[in-house]
Structure 1
Amino acid sequence: MARHDAQIWHACSKMIGLLCLVASILRQHGVSGQRVKVEPEVLSYPGQTVNLRCAFTDATGIQLTMVTWIYEPKDGDRINIAVFHPNFDPNYPDSPVKGRVSFTPSPPNLASPSIEISNVRMTDEGKYICEYATYPRGNEQGITYLVMLAKPQNSASIVTVEAGTNPVVVARCESVDGRPAAQISWVTTANGNATTVSKPGANNTVTMTSEYHMVPTAADNGKDLSCVVAHRTQVKPESFPLKLAVQHAPEVTVVGYDNNWYVGRTHVVLTCLASGNPPPLTAQWKTMSGEMPDTVQITDNVLKVLKVDSAVNTTFVCEVENRIGTGKDQVTVFVREPSVNPSNAGMVAGAVIGSLLALLLVAALIAVLVTRSRRQRQGYRGNGGSDMKTRIFGGGKKASKNGTGVGAGSGGGNNNGPVYVYNDGSSHQGLGEKNNHHHQPLTMGGRPEVVATTPTAQDILLSNELDDAERRKFDELEKEERYDHFSGGAPILQLRPPHDQDDMIGDYLDDDMESQRDGSVISRTAVYV
């Protein structure tokens, strides 16, 4: 049992020792990587001189013995290109850079054994290692990558194709002799795809070629297509704008027919529009019947009809041809019967509008007259019957306190009085007030009952609205009533409203008095009973 435990302890000790060894190696590698300082990458163009710097930053407790520069091409073995030992002169073994490589400064020192390579070539690109031999730590190194640049020659071109059904190359873009290889992309709205290939160029350069493929159609002709080349030697990508060149037969359209060709119409035109690649040369007009009407004139792609007649009732065909093929379009004309002369359309429209305006004006005038007539009739008639007449008349004296009085034929003074209504159709009531809401019965000499009250403002306003012609008409009506219905024996009654103490309407009635043949003065609007 004790022996078994001892074996387990021995195995654990070995494992711990191995882990410690790995840690030590990693630590030493990290330290060495930090001690030798170099530039990670150096860029250069062919023909230039490059400087590859190297330095040992901290040599405390370490003895630097020798330094060696090693060249490792991308595809090849390591080669020593420069060696320096403090006790010997610098040595430059056989290598692709012999005669062009040297230590700098001269004479070199172990603290900073940098080198320079003159007239660099594209084949000089690769990995350069600065390696120190030290005691007691052994070899320590730093790595620099020399990148050779070559600015490419970029170009792009269109490939002229014919419209078809199979994919073809419609554009090509190239980046020649670049280092490193260029990146090519396409920008377009056309429906296609690109393929890019590379091939070695001169002096370890690379040539990139990209082609754009698509199924060309007539609609793709003239579409924009751009090739974009990006390279490390360029500040920004270089763009080459192009336009697709797709050849196709002409596409033809006839315009100008408005479906309103009527007999007698003049100077109507049909135009044949065509597009194609290559451009079409000429257009030919013909009819389905084979005969061109006598009233037709043709000039290139324009067909003009001098005067429309029955012979124009046909189908016109326009054919256009180019190297790829022929395109055509046609229009069928339907000749109609003559309609309203377009030249008189404006006059007809004006006459119609004028008539409508005249009708509206007459209707407005009639409405005004009807409204005026209704208001005037309301001034002559009361509210109680169809044949009532309203009169305003007054006496020659001021009304008594009870509001009644008898008017004299020759009486003067204020003609203040109420509004009376004479009703021919009633045997019980001769005179009555226009507004029947104040009843004051009055009987004089066996006469019919008279009711008096104050005239309303509407009655006075309606009386004022009467013009001269209407007053003359009213005077004639009054005379007929005077001589046809009265024998002269009946007195005229004049009553003044009891509440008209301030003679509010007297002035109005004074202007209403009129002289009679027998020398008396009576009211023009008084009612004779």
Structure 2
Amino acid sequence: MAMLATFWIVLLVALNAPAGNGQSVQTDPSKSGFVGDTVELRCVFINGKPPVKISQVTWQKLINGTKQNVATANPDLGVSVLPPFKDRVSFKHPAVRQRTSTQSAPSTLEDTTIVFSNLRLSDEAAYICEYTTFPAGNRENMVNLTVFARPVTQMTLTSATIVARTPKRKIPVATCMSANGKPPSIIKWDTTLKGEATFQETRNPNGTVTVRSNYIVLPSRETHRQKLTCIVTYHTDRFIDSVILNVQYEPEVKIEGFDGNWYLNRQDVKLTCNADANPAVTIYQWKLLNGSLPNNIEIKNNTLFFKGPVTYEFGGTYVCDATNSIGTRSGLVEVNVTEKPMPQGPPGGIFGMLGVVVVAGLIVGVVATICMVYRRRQKPRTETDNDLIAVADSCLTKPEAPGIEAPEKPESPTRTDLPPAHKPAPPPPKKKSSDMKSGLTSDEIQVVHLDREYEIQKIPLQPPYYDMAQSESTAFTDKPVSSAAKLIAVCPFSFFGGFIEKRCLGSGCYGAHLLMHVVQDELPSERCLD
């Protein structure tokens, strides 16, 4: 009974103790490092007031919900590290590493940060730092440790010798591999070579990933000596490596030397068998289709020398067989022998230049013709035209007679109303004397507004026209028109050859014709006819 009572007393004291009372355990939320590196896992106890007593600190590894002890620190028993971590885990501060505490040097357990050295992939887990205190009880916090693994990257040719065979087929020519990386790497190819890449990821038992990429091309003469670059990206690291493809292929044969102008008695002619091959050609063989080679021929390496002057015997189809370790390919040329040399025309470049000059001349001629036609249609004004416009302006600006309203503007006369350009226009029709003496009313006056700019551009002026004939009913007079202040100019003018007609209105000017004689380089002079 006494023991049971003691137990309940202790329990009540523990329950009544202020929970937390300011005590807490501080850790980093997460830490990370690479395989082989060293990393610190921080753990600090924040004591309260009144402070509690720390009985023990324990670091534990949490694996699939199960806790595994890593290290402990006890003020009385000292420090203990379990075997799996003994050589790689230690407490950071020397005060914690003291085996026992004394009155002169008490053990300090407020900071129990541990140091992981030589990290392994198996160290990746969640770690718990737990403080046992009295009377506050246990306080703990957790930190997640992530372990990365740098990959091993390399680039190799799939084969030291790549052969372009017939029939052609695509094959992998280079491999780029990033092995045992965590997380996996990213592989890219950089090349001007036309091809395609394949990618494959393999997850290893230890949690790493191996990435493998092959570059596939169609081997040919064009792919020989092409550069292929592999770019591997892992975190902030970048790996770049390149290889030069070595592609072996059959010879590509071409015979040179025949210029199409082999004529009788020509000297020093030859045929050369040029072959592009990898590896190099080892054997050249010459032959003549449907016959045998001429007697006066000398073969040196890949060249066929013809001794002496050219004869008809040199004509025929020559074949060159080039052989390397991959295969044999042939080239041929047909030689024709003529009696006389072929005429040598000007080089093609000269013909091209002549063609350009001819085309340019045609273009210039067409443009010039268009400009001339346009200029003829758009004839510029002359000084006489400008003088006529000035007279017309003065007529249009004169005041109208009192009580007379200007009629509406009629349509402008067209070019069909004008007289032929080869002779001057006839004089205006003559009026009877009875009409001259009768008074004019406002209804009889017609005001015609003419678009003078349009007429001046469209109607060329004729030489000055002087009508010296006297009217049958009226006599010519130089007397000024009476009541000039009341004179009204009726516009626009009627253009007839070289004079302008306008009608006068006012006392002493009824029925009179006012002729404006246009003289070259002079302003028009006004004369009234009674």
Specify which structure has the higher proportion of helix.
1
Structure possessing the higher radius of gyration over alpha carbons:
1
TM-score by length of 1: 0.49
